[in-house]
Amino acid sequence: MNYYSLNRKAPNITFSEAVVRGLAPDKGLYFPESITPLEPSFFETIEGKSNTKIAFEAIKQFIVPEIPEDVLKTIVEETLNFDFPVVEINENISTLELFHGPTMAFKDVGARFMARCLGYFNKTNTNDVTVLVATSGDTGGAVANGFLSVKGVNVVILYPSGKVSDIQEKQLTTLGQNITALEVDGVFDDCQDMVKRAFMDVELTSKMQLTSANSINIARWLPQLFYFLFTYKQLKSKHKDIAFSVPSGNFGNICAGMVAQKLGLPVKQFIAANNTNDTVVNYMTTQSYEPKPSVQTISNAMDVGNPSNFIRIQELHNNNFEALKANLCSFSYTDEETKTALLELYKDYDYVADPHGAVGYLGAKEYLKNSDAHVVFLETAHPTKFLGVVEDVIEQTIPLPPQIEAVMDKEKVAISVSSYDELKRFLLR
């Protein structure tokens, strides 16, 4: 399988090259040359397959033979050593819990998968690779944990000062070893712009090998398709159409779900549930894509004003707006609406959600006004990662799980930067 740049001004390359480079020389995101649907029998018998078997069969066309099948099976098994339960909220709505991994966020899957792929490609390389990543919340912790102690890989994480939760900050600033956190005076978009600029800086890239672990990287993005398949496995016996309401920031998660759909997964509709960062919501109404500065909200991982992966979503629909509109609807919600949803989930259904899942729940409810499908909203992070917000709303104390307790008393270590020049000096030190 080769990969091409969505800007179409760079040579096609292999999976390993796409993983190591992260971004194409023409600033485009890499995309697979083809997506071959799985055999119908795969879905007909999916209930009898293990999660690792499902994931291996779904991803292998994109990776084998560059990573041999036996090695890929091991990577999948090591990546997916935790559960992905679907929890029923009511007759028409369920939630897919994606927070049972080591950092209690959905990004554990992509980060762990990519770390193992990069480790495989780098095992005979004498030069270190620097993973440069921007985070609006959970990416940083997941990447830090996934790449911790990986030989020949150094990780540099940029995060916006004061705009991630205390627990999220702890998860990305306390590990040490090959992980360095840079606290940026700005918003997530500033962090992401600095990362993209670094990849285009010839002086920098001529002296060091850079790659990204944001969802712009093909190995971080693609494995997110797994848990859409896991959901179908658990709900197939309901014999109802399934729609997914996905809390959306950089749009990598929902885009991966659409790849699963291309593989043959039956999906009635995708719902992009947004906070007040509503660039895509406006686009779906006006057909005019106008990025804007991100706005800080209580669902901070979705505070993205120019979602990188939306171009991949357009490519999956052949850049046809009408085809996209038939498959995707998008809604946005305020912090107050999000808090109301948190309280409703707790009081009416005895379910403690996080602010991102609450936005997904609101999207599910809105879609059901005109549909009889069963809607699954993605609960993308454990509610204790947003203790201040959640406990204030539901007026209850939430017990800390072991993964969170383990970092609470550790000392934050971060380097402050306020400009690209400062980032560049740090990288070249």
Q: What average pLDDT score do residues 32-45 get? A: 97
DSSP assignment string, 125-155? -SS-EEEEEE-SSHHHHHHHHHHTT-TTEEE
Is a pLDDT exceeding 90 seen at residue 368? yes
pLDDT tens-digit map of 168-180:
888 889 888 899 9
CA atoms of 87 and 345, how far apart (whole Å): 12
Label residue 176 left, alpha or beta by phi (over 0 means left) and psi (-120 to 50 means alpha).
Answer: left
Of 108, 114, 111, the closest CA to residue 20 belongs to 114
pLDDT at 213: 83
pLDDT at 143: 84
Contacts of 329 (CB under 8 A, 6+ apart): 269, 270, 271, 272, 284, 367
Residue 210 host element (H or E): strand 209-211
pLDDT tens-digit map of 116-129:
998 898 877 777 88
pLDDT at 128: 84
CA atoms of 415 and 417, how far apart (whole Å): 7
Is a pLDDT exceeding 90 seen at residue 348? yes
Model confidence at 426, pLDDT cuts 50, 70, 90, reads very high
What sign results for the dihedral spanned by CA atoms 280, 281, 287, 288?
A: negative
Full-model pTM: 0.90
Model confidence at 214, pLDDT cuts 50, 70, 90, reads confident
Is a pLDDT exceeding 80 seen at residue 138? no
pLDDT at 204: 92
Strand, coil or helix: 374: strand
pLDDT at 150: 83
More confident residue, 175 or 74: 74
Q: What average pLDDT score do residues 197-209 get? A: 90
User: Catalytic site residue 107?
Assistant: yes
pLDDT at 55: 98
Q: Is 385 exposed, middle or buried (0-12, 13-18, 19+ CB in 10 A)?
A: buried
Query: Both tokens of residue 312?
Result: 């991949």
pLDDT at 194: 93
pLDDT at 146: 85
Q: What average pLDDT score do residues 179-189 get? A: 91
More confident residue, 326 or 152: 326
The CATH code of domain 82-104+221-400 reads 3.40.50.1100
CA atoms of 417 and 404, how far apart (whole Å): 27
Q: Which is catalytic among the residues 53, 107, 163, 412?
A: 107
CA atoms of 86 and 98, how far apart (whole Å): 9
Model confidence at 147, pLDDT cuts 50, 70, 90, reads confident
Is a pLDDT exceeding 90 seen at residue 79? yes
How many angstroms separate the Cα of 306 from the Cα of each of 141, 189, 195, 204, 421? Answer: 22, 8, 14, 25, 22
Is a pLDDT exceeding 90 seen at residue 291? yes
CA atoms of 275 and 281, how far apart (whole Å): 10
- Among 184-193, 320-329, 369-378, whose mean pLDDT is lowest? 184-193
Output the average pLDDT for the chain: 93
pLDDT at 234: 97
Rg of the chain on CA atoms, in Å: 20
pLDDT at 139: 78
Strand order in the sheet with 242-247: 86-88, 93-97, 374-379, 242-247, 269-274, 328-332
pLDDT at 424: 94
- Among 220-229, 312-321, 403-412, whose mean pLDDT is lowest? 403-412
Model confidence at 429, pLDDT cuts 50, 70, 90, reads confident
Model confidence at 352, pLDDT cuts 50, 70, 90, reads very high
**Summary count for the chain: helices (H), strands (E):** 20, 14
Query: Both tokens of residue 33?
Result: 């040359």
How many angstroms separate the Cα of 325 from the Cα of each of 8, 296, 345? Answer: 24, 27, 29
